Amino acid sequence: MYPNKNNSPLATAEKAANSYSDSQPVGAATMPCPNDAQELKEVIRVKVVGEDGVGLGGIALQLSRADKKILTGKTAPDGVYAFKGLDAGNYQLSLPELDKDAWKELTTESLPADEAKSSSVASWQSAPAQNIEEEKIHIIKQGECVGKIAEVYGFFPKTIWEYGKNAELKKLRHDEMYILFEKDEVVIPAKREKARTVAAGVQLTVQRQGVPEYLHIRFLNYDETPRIEVPYLLSLKTDKGILVADAFSKTDDKGFVNQPIPPSAVNVTIILNPGPWSEVHEFNLGYINPIDNVSGWQARLNNLGYDCGAEDNKLGPKTQAAIRAFQRTKKLKETGDRNKATETALLAIALS
């Protein structure tokens, strides 16, 4: 079919190839053959949970290597963050915004084979200049307690409350770190760092201490017997705008609503017996003052149905009438005055 072999398609292609090859100068750049498989690097996955096991978002993480270079990140809403593109070996993990007593290691486990590798490239950075932590004084605002400010400053609540410079306040407030008075002064100690060695290819789960807090509100009948097994719907508002899912449950055998809540919660609405015969109860969290203030008596008596009117910290006629009514119920001498026997009875029923 091709009488002249020099005119065949194969010959034509060979001639073109030789011509192209001959035209390349010595040392010209050439393209390497593509790799069938890109080199994969290691992964370290970190999960941060609260004391209830639920993931916590927005927790700052730092991974460092031997040359002091670092990687940083923050956990997603489910509490998880993955450091990718790592070489095999050990690294140091820290939670730089938390005091050393505010978190602890729970578990370390190998990642599944299909999750332990990544084609990502890690962007290591120089560590910033280290800030020297110093203690601070926090002035309590209405609605705050040690639990709330501990979350803000990155501490376990008891670390702040047990700090030596808070001993006088602790005594003044009868060791009630959740019932403080506006303008109380709380000393925040200097934050202490902590790091954990973690190997590439694993998931490390750590727990944030002191989060969540727990809400305990008791509902009583008129005769002060507990309202047991009453269905309720609970919704929360926080000072950070965090979305918190509504909770539906029942009061326990002592009439308590028991629910985990974020420390930033400022308001709770509890609907008993949701439906046509529902009762709506709203509470501002952290707004009950210590019992050694008149306003502390007024808040507790109002919650128990003894109407003091405005919680104005004044021992006026309406507050005295409410105290006498309470004393009558408890078979105490009806003086209308604040005294130790009445205070003890009030705290026993109010539970705070």
Mean pLDDT of 118-123: 94
Q: Torsions phi, psi of 227, nearest 5? A: -90, 100
- Helix pair angle (317-329, 340-350), 10° resolution: 80
Is 208's pLDDT higher than 50?
yes
In 93-241, where does DSSP find H-type helix?
146-153, 157-161, 167-172
The whole-angstrom separation of Cα 266 and Cα 238 is: 5
Please state, as a whole number, how many other Cβ atoms lie within 10 Å of the Cβ of residue 185: 13
Is 13's pLDDT higher than 90?
no
Per the prediction, the chain carries an average pLDDT of: 89
Is 32's pLDDT higher than 70?
no
Token pair 């949970």 in the structure block, residue? 49
Strands lying side by side in the sheet with 265-272: 247-250, 231-238, 265-272, 279-284
Token pair 């486990």 in the structure block, residue? 109
Mean pLDDT of 321-334: 94
The whole-angstrom separation of Cα 36 and Cα 301 is: 76
CA angle 308, 312, 317 (to 5 degrees): 45
| Distance from the first to the final alpha carbon of the chain | 106
Residue 9: pLDDT band by 50, 70, 90 thresholds?
low
Side-chain half-sphere CA neighbours of 327 within 13 A: 19
Is 285's pLDDT higher than 70?
yes
The whole-angstrom separation of Cα 188 and Cα 334 is: 44
Q: Which domains does the chain have, with CATH numbers?
A: 41-129+194-208 (2.60.40.10), 136-188 (3.10.350), 212-285 (2.60.40.10), 288-352 (1.10.101)
In 135-230, where does DSSP find H-type helix?
146-153, 157-161, 167-172
The whole-angstrom separation of Cα 327 and Cα 310 is: 20
**Furthest-apart CA atoms within the chain: distance in Å:** 131
Predicted confidence at residue 126, as pLDDT, reads 95
Mean pLDDT of 243-265: 93
